[in-house]
Chains A and B, each alone.
Chain A
Amino acid sequence: MGKIKINNIFGRKENILSIYLTAGYPVINSMPDLAIALAQAGVNFLELGMPFSDPLADGQTIQYSSNVALKNGITLEKYFDQVARIRDKIDIPLIFMGYFNQLLKFGIEKFLSNCVETGIDGMIIPDLPPEHFEKKYKEIFDKYDLSLSFLVTPTTTESRIKYIDKLSSGFVYLVSTSSTTGKIDKFTNEQAEYFKKIKNLNLNNPVIIGFGISSRDKFLLANKYADGAIIGSAYIKTLKNSANYILETKNFVNKILKK
């Protein structure tokens, strides 16, 4: 299914919402229940984060959740088990999010094949540089039906954006700010200009805005400028010290989608 499944989300309805969650957080086995609750609440696709000990591209909230998850004992084996359980119950696209070292150590082919077998549809690997991917790994990735989304930031030049678009599949991940995740609470004029600039480039891939999306207003704005929005930190925050994280999850999504 993979790539087609992701392509099918776009252009069919307005206001696409993706949610990021950390495997193993808040408790070791919470990801399947949370993923199912998110899908039932109307989320269009999910980023399933595999915690890494040294997550360079993540802000404090997701670092914290990763740290807790690793202490809870999350491993790749458990991650893939949980993904398979999620896949049994829900049909929306599932995106792996993690760091390149995890693939390298596990074995890239084995990793990608595990992803396909357990029901992952696409990948986001923030520290895999597009040049290196193209030179060394594209051939391997091409063997598997998985989308791969590269990041674009406000400091990415126009020619590089086009190059990244060319190498990406599924969607391009537009980082809303030159900042690690979850630091800001509103879009500035500068950001709006940047989003418009990207829109006018008419990229081949749909564009999803992530980083710093924390409210319904920002979610709607992001959808105005692009093809969808990813929420990570704001959602992870609601799970901290939560007595009923399933209820919390439903409430959170309802607030964003205003159901």
Chain B
Amino acid sequence: MNYEIDKHGFYGSYGGAFVPELLFANINELAQNYINIIEKEDFQNEYKSLLKDYVGRPSPLYFAKRLSARYNTNIFLKREDLNHTGAHKINNTIGQILLAKRMGKTRIIAETGAGQHGVATATVCALMDMECIVYMGEKDVKRQAPNVARMKMLGAEVRPVSSGSKTLKDATNEAIRDWINNPGNTFYIIGSVVGPHPYPDMVAIFQSVISEEMKLQLTEQTGRDYPDKIITCIGGGSNAAGAYYHYINNKKVELISVEAGGKGINTGMSAATSVLGSDGIIHGSMTKLMQTADGQIIEPYSISAGLDYPGIGPLHAHLIETGRTKVLTATDDQAVKAGFLLTKTEGIIPALESAHALAALEMIEFSLDEIVVVNLSGRGDKDMETYLQWNTTDIIPD
């Protein structure tokens, strides 16, 4: 294990399981069993074979030649966008549904914001023939119609959530309440390294395949198993957790997390949690979150629905606090511009989330002999409407 947590699920002072007693038995059952089950050989065999044959792993580590030339360095893209369902999310949903099956659960629930995790969950439920209910904020149901249609076609029931601000955080609350009301048969598949222990750890383990492959691929392509820098986008932080996992203790690797700066950090319209946030509890976890002086959680904003979360995973709060990761922010404009740049130079349309990581390339001084990995967490098909609405004449680079 490369993330050090104590037995209560704390990374330093962050994490834990701040859940009402109503949820204790569910969480405790999971916390007592997840490591034992995941480490079993038959679990690993089934998980790895599905990642290979169903998801299409290993995802390529692609040397982006023209992008590298532009920034005078060596940029590799970890192509999570090429996974089945179009993002890294499925690494986690496959792991969790196999766990659910082994724990004898028959009913799957999930939360989703943009719909990517909802689609990844609905997909594995279809694969495993399990009942699937996805909670989605009413506003997001309207904003993300194509993903709603996908989930329905895959056989999931999409339940619009009208409480609170009607977005991802409220969908998460509602999924947690569903779990409280249906103890016993239900398994809650959380989509990021957030929520009460053991979720952050469990999701990080399932995403760790990203850096596991990176080590082998870098050795093959560069003769060395580590890069100088890894750049990821971070909302809850699951793709970042996976990309950092096997490098946490290798201090030669600089870890750079890019948060959504929205319309600008000081505009009140951003999701720059680590800059604007303070310590507190969201979804059962002690972490950094955006909140008022009264401890009410603030609804964030980003052009990218996947980064639009008022907290960050507790392990990231810890990594930031201890100085292990560095945080940058990219605004909507910078991200869209970076998305167009990658499309034009490499023929890859990135998800808006991943475009935030790419935007950081403009902000960092590189040297010619450096090796940089950008985790390309998802593909941009879902974001075409947003890309095309942008005033592209201003921003398409030469």
Contacts and interface: CB of A to CB of B under 8 A. Distances in A.
A is bound by B: yes
B181 A183 contact: yes
Most chain A CB within 10 A, of B19, B170, B281, is at: B281
B62 interface: no
Interface residues on B, range: 35 or more
If over half of B's interface residues share one DSSP class (helix, strand or loop), that class is named, otherwise mixed; here it is mixed
A247 interface: no
A56 B282 contact: no
Interface residues on A, range: 35 or more
Contacts of A193: none
Nearest to A178: B183
A204 interface: no
Given A52-B296, A127-B284, A132 B18 contact: yes
B280 A56 contact: no
Interface stretch (A5-13, A34-42, A96-104, A230-238): A96-104
A152 B21 contact: yes
B295 A106 contact: yes
Interface in A46-84: 52-57, 59-60, 63-64, 67, 70, 75-76
Given A53-B296, A105-B293, A155-B25, A129 B163 contact: no
Given A67-B164, A104-B279, A178-B181, A129 B19 contact: yes
B22 interface: yes
A178 B23 CA distance: 9
A67 B161 CA distance: 14
A100 B281 contact: yes
A155 B24 contact: yes
Contacts of B278: 105
B294 A131 contact: no
B85 interface: no
A70 B163 CA distance: 13
B169 interface: yes
Most chain A CB within 10 A, of B20, B25, B293, is at: B20
16 contacts: A54-B173, A63-B164, A70-B296, A76-B294, A101-B280, A104-B279, A104-B295, A105-B291, A105-B294, A127-B281, A153-B25, A155-B22, A155-B26, A175-B21, A178-B22, A179-B22
Interface of A: 52-57, 59-60, 63-64, 67, 70, 75-76, 99-106, 126-129, 131-132, 150-153, 155-156, 160, 164, 175, 178-180, 183
Interface of B: 8, 16-26, 163-164, 169-170, 173, 176-177, 180-181, 183, 278-284, 291, 293-297
The 9 A-B residue pairs with the shortest CB-CB distance in the complex, in nearest-first order: A105-B295, A155-B25, A57-B20, A151-B21, A102-B295, A53-B296, A126-B20, A101-B281, A101-B295
